[in-house]
């Protein structure tokens, strides 16, 4: 069972240790061993959110993020354990999994609701919360390079934070994600992900939720849209990649990206917090296998965005919503990337350079690699 130990950094930000082993948890419960001695200045004010009346969307303005850390050397990494020469964001000599409030947050630290009837020129505080999830104390790697035990602890951390953030005032959507690779825009090599707790439902999530709700209502509440899609994909088999007892992975029929895979639980749940222990155990192995297959066709690691689509915090939308992972990569060949140009960036109309069936076939036939980056496998217990 994962132990959870909260503490505070010197500027008041919350930091939480997640440990699968009691001796690690005991060290982190010792105030002297977990005290942040940096004496950071108080946190600055939150950024702003501006309403785009032309699209009906909110845009966060976070100019303070311009000064955030960018690809530091290992001895200056803010996610590595603290040493006398590197007082990092994590004031411990070692750790398993850590979640903390982002120092360069796009949303928050203020909490509260956005205006209900915004119009042209409406500006508000960009309330909400942004957290960093350090997957491991090793400096290099990604979720796919974790041991199964460590990956399960990360999943428990995602579930815990999803439940906690969903209960905070003004939060409308909780989004857990991992960016991997410099081609995606990653600014830290340390294996990590992020969690955004938005004060609004983002456009992509709003579209998915609306489509799901319409389908659910049309069926008289008997069928979900993702459940229907999953059943169709499993029946066809043309785009299936992995099929387990509790989870299946498939390339969607209308994939937007050169590589795109959906990882879907067989049981409808609204979010990661709703998964059972047995489902979390299988998710650990299926997700690691999927990431291994993603790397297998190429001699170098594949850049990707792993995005967990969870139900909005909305009583009307949640019954129809269905947790799933959208794993996407712009890699269309070993040495080529797809860039969002005119049609995609300006109009939102995607044109795919690959066929979903050929991508699914390649991933099915791939022998999963443990770690093509060459990063040594991390031990389970620090």
What SS3 state is found at 15?
A: strand
| Residues contacting 257, CB < 8 A, separation 6+ | 328, 329, 330, 338, 350, 352
259 close to 302: Cβ distance less than 8 angstroms: yes
Mode of pairing for the β-strands spanning 324-329 and 123-125: unpaired
The strand order across the sheet containing 57-61 reads 57-61, 48-52, 123-125
For residues 158 and 162, give the distance between their C-alpha atoms in angstroms, rounded to a whole number.
6
Which of 170, 123, 130, 151 minimizes the C-alpha distance to 313? 170
CA dihedral (280, 281, 285, 288) positive or negative: positive
Which one from 28, 192, 262, 324 is the annotated catalytic residue? 192
Burial class (CB in 10 A: 0-12, 13-18, 19+), 56: exposed
Alpha helices, DSSP H, located in the chain: 22-29, 148-166, 203-218, 225-236, 277-295, 347, 356-365
Interior/surface letters 84-108, b for 16+ CB within 10 angstroms, e for the rest: eeebbbbbbeebbbbbbbbbebbbb
Which of 210, 269, 262 minimizes the C-alpha distance to 233? 262
- Torsion, Cα 219 220 222 224, to 10 degrees, reads 50
For residues 59 and 329, give the distance between their C-alpha atoms in angstroms, rounded to a whole number.
24
93 close to 24: Cβ distance less than 8 angstroms: no
Is 192 part of the annotated catalytic residue set?
yes
For residues 155 and 52, give the distance between their C-alpha atoms in angstroms, rounded to a whole number.
35
Q: Which residues are known to be catalytic?
A: 192
């Amino acid at each position: 069972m994962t132990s959870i130990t909260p503490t505070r950094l010197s500027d008041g930000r919350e930091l939480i240790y997640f440990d699968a082993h009691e001796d690690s948890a005991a060290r982190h419960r010792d105030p002297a061993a977990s005290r942040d001695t940096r004496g950071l200045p108080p946190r600055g004010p939150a950024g702003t959110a501006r309403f785009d009346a032309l699209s009906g969307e909110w845009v966060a303005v976070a100019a303070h993020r311009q000064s955030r850390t960018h690809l530091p050397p290992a001895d200056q990494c803010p996610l590595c354990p603290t040493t006398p020469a590197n007082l990092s964001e994590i004031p411990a000599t070692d750790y398993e999994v850590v979640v903390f409030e982002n120092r360069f947050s796009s949303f928050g630290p203020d909490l509260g609701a956005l205006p209900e009837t915004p119009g042209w020129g409406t500006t508000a505080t960009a309330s909400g919360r942004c957290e960093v999830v350090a997957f491991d104390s090793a400096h290099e790697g990604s979720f796919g390079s974790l041991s199964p035990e460590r990956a399960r602890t990360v999943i428990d951390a995602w579930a815990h934070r999803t439940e906690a953030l969903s209960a905070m005032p003004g939060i409308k959507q909780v989004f857990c994600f991992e960016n991997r690779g410099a081609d995606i825009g990653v600014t830290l090599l340390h294996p990590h992900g992020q969690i955004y707790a938005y004060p609004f439902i983002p456009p992509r999530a709003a579209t998915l939720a609306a489509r799901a709700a319409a389908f659910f209502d049309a069926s008289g509440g008997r069928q979900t849209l993702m459940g229907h899609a999953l059943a169709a994909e499993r029946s066809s088999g043309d785009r299936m990649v992995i099929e387990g007892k509790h989870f299946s992975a498939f390339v969607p029929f209308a994939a937007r990206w050169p590589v795109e895979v959906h990882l879907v639980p067989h049981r409808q749940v609204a979010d990661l917090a709703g998964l059972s222990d047995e489902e979390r155990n299988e998710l650990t192995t299926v997700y690691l296998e999927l990431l291994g297959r993603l790397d297998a066709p190429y001699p170098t690691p594949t850049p990707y965005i792993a995005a967990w689509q969870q139900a909005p915090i909305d009583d009307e939308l949640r019954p129809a919503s269905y947790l799933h992972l959208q794993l996407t990569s712009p890699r269309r060949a070993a040495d080529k990337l797809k860039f969002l140009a005119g049609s995609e960036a300006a109009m939102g109309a995607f044109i795919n350079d690959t066929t979903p069936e050929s991508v699914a076939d390649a991933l099915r036939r791939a022998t999963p690699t443990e770690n093509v980056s060459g990063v040594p496998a991390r031990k389970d217990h620090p």
